[in-house]
Amino acid sequence: MDTNHTTMAETLSKHEKNLAAIIHASTFSKYFIPFGNFLLPLILWTANKKDHSFVDKNGKRALNFQISLLLYSIVLGIFTVPFMIGIIPEIFHLADFNFANFNEFNGINLDFHSFHPGRLLWPLGIVGAAHLGLFLVNIVYTILATIRTSEGLDFQYPISIPFIR
């Protein structure tokens, strides 16, 4: 163990360590409260950031990590939109649509039995696997952050963008 970590852990009060650990652990509240992964850490952080620098630093890191994960999820969702739009003509056979007889609707073939979901499953499978990866990263690193900060150690999340400085 680094001597810098030892002296830092010894100078922190048990209250500071517990507050920092609770901030990290409170991000799991998203499974019970909508946006709880942002609201509870934000409330705990803003209430205690002026009194404890360790709590201030960890509150920022927990929130930055949660905001980063949300951003990554949104980007993954945006990447799937072109695949979903590209599959619509195949589902409804719109390539065979006869615009000259638009009023008669005789050009639309709504035969769903000839639809092959393979083109849809690849991008959805990749995005699903990426979301599963983000879920696991969130669980593992939030638990690690909670444990390390409860011990008074400095913890830095991976793949976290420092939105709040």
pTM score, two decimals?
A: 0.77
Buried b (16+ CB within 10 A) or exposed e, 60-74: bbbbbbbbbbeebee
Of 37, 51, 53, the residue nearest 141 (C-alpha): 37
Neighbours of 142 (CB within 10 A): 21
CA 104/CA 165 separation, integer angstroms: 62
Instruction: From first to last of the 165 residues of the chain, give the pLDDT tens digit.
Output: 444 554 555 689 999 999 999 999 999 999 999 999 999 999 999 999 999 999 999 999 999 999 999 999 999 988 877 777 766 666 665 555 555 544 444 444 544 555 566 666 777 788 889 999 999 999 999 999 999 999 999 999 999 999 999
Q: Read off the tokens for 51.
A: 């009194």
